[in-house]
Chain A
Amino acid sequence: MNFQIPIGPQHPALKEPISLRMTVEGEVITDVDIRLGYNHRGMEKLAEEKTWIQNIYLVERICGICSHSHATCYVQGVEKLMDITPPKRGLYIRYLVSELERVHSHLLWLGVAGHEAGFDSFFMYTWRDREIVMDLLEMISGNRVHYAINTLGGVRRDIDEGQKAKILKGVATLRKRSEYYFYIGANEPTFVARIAGVGYLSKESAIALCAVGPTARASGWARDVRKEDPYAVYNEVDFEVATADSCDVLGRVVVRVKELLESYKLIEQMVKGLPAGDIAVKAPRKAKPGEVVSRYEAPRGENIHYIKANGTDKPERLKVRAPTLANYPATVEMLRKGFIADIPLIFAAIDPCICCAERTVTLIAAGSGEESVVRMSDLRRRAITRHQNAPVKRNAVWPL
């Protein structure tokens, strides 16, 4: 007997409106239909009516968590169109803020994953640590989110010696705390058992469905734009691409935790190696006709902007593809054959930033056509009790 259950658009699990309609048979999901469009704000059309500089602020507000990635991807592209090269110091500051943003985004996600798995103390701990990063970002740029530190030709604000010392101190504290979380992960069998084996995505499926970011890297497919297409400073600093082989939610947690450690290394290298000089060059008002493809590694995956100019001071076409949209076909694949109880966890594991994906879960009974609305909080409670009563998977191992 198949049922279809709707989830969304307003529900407490995800902070964004999205509607999922799942066809279920008992407890097993057979099909998923994702309805987007609740967050569609028409930005690509709006971008054609604003000038190049005004678009920086528009593009930043595509997403609140990865705002700097969109702004940087856009500014990289437009600088190529206008044929200007920012000075080294400006580039280092810009990518330093990028790595700080990656740290804050991964800590946020770790908290959300813990919350979905029923581990609320972990949520509180990681978000408390995230406040350290928010303070650093506020010190550098003036705002906790939407830093607006990019401009065409460089950055807008400079860092002095006192701020550099504070950044290094903050990163040292965070590194100690992150290592404590790995200790929890290695020694907490119920947490590992809860997330192992959930949301399986094989390497062939990940490649065929064009998955990006930690979702693809956890299936053993090592693609990272910072290594393949090194923009600006990434070919001068030393880091590794994090992968895992277990193809499930545990692998995704491991990949993000490894990336946190790599980001701390990168931040220290960039702060210690900050060159002297100017922070920006002057940019012209109009761009020469041409087109550019700009790619960037956001915390969630590969971000791509395609910008076309026609010689005036407004863009001809701005096309944005944010990483979460690329992960949707992979999510549908992961949810099939899964249990209803695992829906919040699987969906949270791709680190959904639905506002990036343009921007909106229903379970429908495929036999009788009956619709029943189930709240995400009920699903989460069901999931927690179900896993409390199931036998613990003693052989699940923390592969770090």
Chain B
Amino acid sequence: MTDTELIEKLKADLGGKVAEIAHPAPRRLFLKVAPQDLIAVTTRLRDVYGVVFLSTISGVDNGETFEIVYHFSTPETDFNLRTEIPRADPHIASITPVIPGAILYERELQDMFGMIIDGLPDPRPLVLPDDWPAGNYPLRKDWKRVRPEEVIPGGKS
């Protein structure tokens, strides 16, 4: 099935749940869904279209909102699902009931952006150190690090 045929089938099948489907390059589809439809669309893609492989989940800080992109791929084409959640209330449901392999990527999103993923089986921090001060989310655009003074042994600072 070529990309254009696939887009037509998806539009007919998912209808209102998918706000837009972009096709910027061969084998790359970008679908936009609302946060509350995320689990329904993912389940449908897994059951009907055979989309089982999740490559990763990226988070982007867009100022007022956070954008989350789920990168799936099949041997024929790549599906990238995009949702947006408001910065003031960053909640999103976890897709681990549908795709168990998503757990580490969602934990990383929690660490780096401060998003709250509901329903995670294991919500501990993943990559930040044990003595990291709480409330600091490094990948937010407004977070800057103040470096402590470096002491060069045997020389001038």
A-contacting 9-mer, from B5-13, B21-29, B34-42, B85-93? B21-29
Q: How far is the CA of A325 from the CA of B54 in the complex (A)?
A: 12
| Residue A40, interface by CB 8 Å | yes
B130: which A residues are within 8 A, CB to CB?
37
Are A359 and B127 within 8 A (Cβ)? Answer: yes
- What is the predominant secondary structure among interface residues of chain B facing chain A? mixed
Which chain A residues (33-52) contact chain B, with CB distance < 8 Å?
36-37, 40, 42, 44-45
- With A37-B127, A80-B25 already in contact, the answer to whether A304 and B71 are too (CB < 8 A) is yes
Are B129 and A325 within 8 A (Cβ)? Answer: no
**Most chain A Cβ neighbours within 10 Å, of B56, B112, B128:** B56
Are A304 and B56 within 8 A (Cβ)? Answer: yes
B125: which A residues are within 8 A, CB to CB?
37
A44: which B residues are within 8 A, CB to CB?
112, 139
Are B78 and A319 within 8 A (Cβ)? Answer: no
A-B contact count (CB 8 A): 81
Out of B53, B58, B100, which one reaches A329, CB within 8 Å? B100
Name the CB-closest residue of B to A221.
B53
Are A210 and B60 within 8 A (Cβ)? Answer: no
Out of A36, A208, A295, A325, which one reaches B100, CB within 8 Å? A208
- With A306-B69, A329-B100 already in contact, the answer to whether A321 and B138 are too (CB < 8 A) is no
> Interface size on A (CB < 8 Å)?
33
Are A208 and B71 within 8 A (Cβ)? Answer: no
Q: How far is the CA of A295 from the CA of B79 in the complex (A)?
A: 13
A323-334 vs B, CB cutoff 8 Å, 1 = contact: the mask equals 001101100000
- With A37-B128, A290-B24 already in contact, the answer to whether A302 and B55 are too (CB < 8 A) is yes
CB distance from B82 to the nearest CB of A (A): 10
A192-229 vs B, CB cutoff 8 Å, 1 = contact: the mask equals 00000000000000011111000000000001000011
Out of A37, A210, A229, which one reaches B54, CB within 8 Å? A210
| Residue B116, interface by CB 8 Å | no
A266-305 vs B, CB cutoff 8 Å, 1 = contact: the mask equals 0000000000000000000000001011010000001010
| Residue B80, interface by CB 8 Å | yes
| Residue B120, interface by CB 8 Å | no
Are A40 and B129 within 8 A (Cβ)? Answer: yes
A130: which B residues are within 8 A, CB to CB?
none
A207: which B residues are within 8 A, CB to CB?
52-53
- What is the predominant secondary structure among interface residues of chain A facing chain B? mixed
Q: How far is the CA of A45 from the CA of B112 in the complex (A)?
A: 10
A316: which B residues are within 8 A, CB to CB?
60
Name the CB-closest residue of B to A208.
B100
Are B128 and A209 within 8 A (Cβ)? Answer: no
B89-127 vs A, CB cutoff 8 Å, 1 = contact: the mask equals 000000000011111110010001000000000000111
| Residue A317, interface by CB 8 Å | yes
A99: which B residues are within 8 A, CB to CB?
none
CB distance from B30 to the nearest CB of A (A): 8
| Residue A308, interface by CB 8 Å | yes
| Residue B73, interface by CB 8 Å | yes
Q: How far is the CA of A328 from the CA of B105 in the complex (A)?
A: 11
Are B139 and A293 within 8 A (Cβ)? Answer: no
Are A293 and B28 within 8 A (Cβ)? Answer: yes
Name the CB-closest residue of B to A318.
B58
Name the CB-closest residue of A to B52.
A207
| Residue A259, interface by CB 8 Å | no
Q: How far is the CA of A304 from the CA of B72 in the complex (A)?
A: 11
Are A293 and B78 within 8 A (Cβ)? Answer: yes
- With A210-B54, A358-B127 already in contact, the answer to whether A228 and B71 are too (CB < 8 A) is no
B56: which A residues are within 8 A, CB to CB?
304, 306, 319, 321, 326
- With A306-B56, A317-B58, A359-B127 already in contact, the answer to whether A329 and B28 are too (CB < 8 A) is no
Are A210 and B75 within 8 A (Cβ)? Answer: no
Q: How far is the CA of A319 from the CA of B105 in the complex (A)?
A: 12
CB distance from A323 to the nearest CB of B (A): 10
A-B contact pairs, 20 of them (CB 8 A): A36-B127, A37-B128, A42-B138, A44-B112, A45-B138, A207-B52, A207-B53, A209-B101, A210-B53, A210-B99, A210-B102, A229-B73, A290-B24, A293-B78, A306-B71, A317-B58, A317-B60, A321-B105, A325-B104, A328-B104
Since A40-B128, A317-B60 are in contact, a sample of 16 more A-B pairs with Cβ atoms closer than 8 Å, ordered by chain A residue number, is: A37-B126, A45-B139, A207-B52, A208-B100, A210-B53, A210-B55, A210-B99, A223-B75, A229-B73, A304-B71, A316-B60, A319-B56, A321-B56, A325-B104, A326-B56, A358-B127
B residues near A (Cβ < 8 Å) are 24-25, 27-28, 52-56, 58-61, 69, 71, 73, 75-76, 78, 80, 99-105, 108, 112, 125-130, 138-139
Closest 4 CB pairs of A and B: A210-B101, A321-B56, A319-B58, A209-B101
A residues near B (Cβ < 8 Å) are 36-37, 40, 42, 44-45, 80, 207-211, 223, 228-229, 290, 292-293, 295, 302, 304, 306, 308, 316-317, 319, 321, 325-326, 328-329, 358-359
